Structure 1
Amino acid sequence: MKYQHIFFDLDRTLWDFDKNSEKTLIQLFRDFGLQNTFGNFLFFKNRYEYHNKKLWVAYYQNRIEKEELSYKRFYLTLKEAGLDDIELSKEIAHDFIELSPLQTETFPHTHACLEYLKRKDYHLHIITNGFNEVQGRKLQNSKLDSYFTELITSENAGANKPHPQIFEYAFNATGAHTNNSIMIGDDLNTDIKGARDMGMDQIFFNPRKGKHDEKVTFEIANLKELIDIF
């Protein structure tokens, strides 16, 4: 078979980041009584997602450290509602890191597809830009950990996708090569372009069927389509 190693992104590819994040934010909103500050949850969620997205871009570009990203996304959110409180922001950030990996929503057919690929003797790995203390727990709590041989994180690799360093680290850790590997992910830049620049084939997971101009090896809207590829 052409492919021996299959590298999966985790968030928004297998683990439903948006649903799980919303569940966590709802709990934090209640636990910290944030309705008194924001009035309603949707305002809080909207402003958090705005700042979180911008700060992740800065993190990918090595302009901020992980610790700053972790609390500042909440600090800037609270500040928009008139609450300038770094200590409270750090408390919320701590609880977010603790609670988020407890959520277990995965995309439809995740387990069935991974079972299928495992039975076919593919070597399955995760390659993620997420934090070490979070990603492993997400896999365990969602009962995904047993499918994967290696969990490759940007922290351990010393670089975020799409930087070549994280892919080189992954190849060294798994014994894979560009010609016998394929990358599956939802992000056209970090996952698809990153893999393509390394000479790897790619599968773009595009459940919302968003339009784009990127050249990809395969594109799927549902994980069960992997069965037709493999």
Structure 2
Amino acid sequence: MGVKSLTSKTDIFFDLDHTLWDFEKNSALAFNDVIEELKLPFSTEAFLSHYVAINNEYWDKYSLNQVSKEELRIGRIRDTFAKLDYQSTTEEMLLLGDNYLKAMPNHNYLFDGAIEVLDYLQDKYKLHIITNGFNEVQGKKLERSGIAGYFKTVTNSEMAGVSKPNPEIFNYALDKAQVKVDQSVMIGDNFLADIEGALGVGMDAIYYSQSKEKVIPQIYHVQKLIELKDLL
């Protein structure tokens, strides 16, 4: 296959959003709640048609320390409102953003196969989370989706003071888990943050992407979570 065997691993680090937790589906449901609650003059579909790409761009910038948490939270709403030609106040933007973050953990769809794979892996490995998500939201997502109990440690970017792909968050997570890098593997959907970040500290990685195209042939790639059972 041209890639290293993973049989010597003892610890697995998962990304959360877009990997186990179905971010796009849960996010859309949360925004629908808030847009209805605030009686905003546009549909959820119209809002999301602009917001999804804008949000992804802001998270990439946040990962690279190009914007702060506060700039991310207000900027993604402000830029979406601008695309919709909707005149608003900073107060209303912050209210939408805050209410969205509160509503987000109320919807907890996981990707197909997530529970089956976690059940399978927990008997063979110690499982952990490394996420760039916000502290106040990620814990609720894990608890309310019923998967918190699978993970020995959870590391987020606010704890570590930096975001993936910065090597420091991976080293922080390894120290917290008390495991060596060569015994560990990272599983995630974001090639920059998860895969390049892990490789940057010498950690093996598995790229979870529903696209059929392999970005680098030397890296394991799964299109469905259930395929992890064949690798690990």
In the superposition, the TM-score normalised over structure 2's length comes to 0.92
- Asked if the contact 2:207/2:220 (under 8 Å) is kept, the reply is yes
The range that moved more, 63-72 or 9-18, is 63-72
CA distance in 1, matches of 2:25, 2:99: 17
1:30 aligns with 2:36: yes
Match of 1:191 among 178, 191, 194: 194
Residues 217, 58 of structure 1: alpha-carbon distance in 2 compared, 3 angstrom cutoff: closer
Q: Does 1 or 2 have the higher relative contact order (CA < 8 Å, sep 6+)?
A: 2
CA distance in 2, matches of 1:187, 1:215: 16
Cα distance, 1:188 vs structure 2: 1.1
- Asked if the contact 2:185/2:204 (under 8 Å) is kept, the reply is yes
- Asked if the contact 1:204/1:216 (under 8 Å) is kept, the reply is no
Aligned residues: 225
CA distance in 2, matches of 1:213, 1:206: 10
* Equivalent residue, structure 2, for 1:16: 22
Cα distance, 1:212 vs structure 2: 4.5
5+ residue gaps, structure 2, are 1-6
1:226 aligns with 2:232: no
* Equivalent residue, structure 1, for 2:91: 87
Cα distance, 1:130 vs structure 2: 0.5
In the superposition, the TM-score normalised over structure 1's length comes to 0.92
- Asked if the contact 1:24/1:96 (under 8 Å) is kept, the reply is yes
Cα distance, 1:159 vs structure 2: 1.0
- Where do 4+ consecutive residues of structure 1 move more than 3 Å? none
CA distance in 2, matches of 1:115, 1:48: 34
5+ residue gaps, structure 1, are none
* Equivalent residue, structure 1, for 2:4: none
Cα distance, 1:217 vs structure 2: 3.1
Root mean square deviation, CA, Å: 1.4
Match of 1:151 among 151, 154, 165: 154
Residues 219, 143 of structure 1: alpha-carbon distance in 2 compared, 3 angstrom cutoff: same
* Residue identity opposite 1:26 in structure 2: N
Structure 1 residues 87-106: aligned runs within 5 Å: 87-106=91-110
Match of 1:62 among 53, 65, 84: 65
* Equivalent residue, structure 2, for 1:138: 141
Structure 1 residues 108-119: aligned runs within 5 Å: 108-119=112-123
Match of 1:201 among 204, 208, 212: 204
Cα distance, 1:32 vs structure 2: 1.4
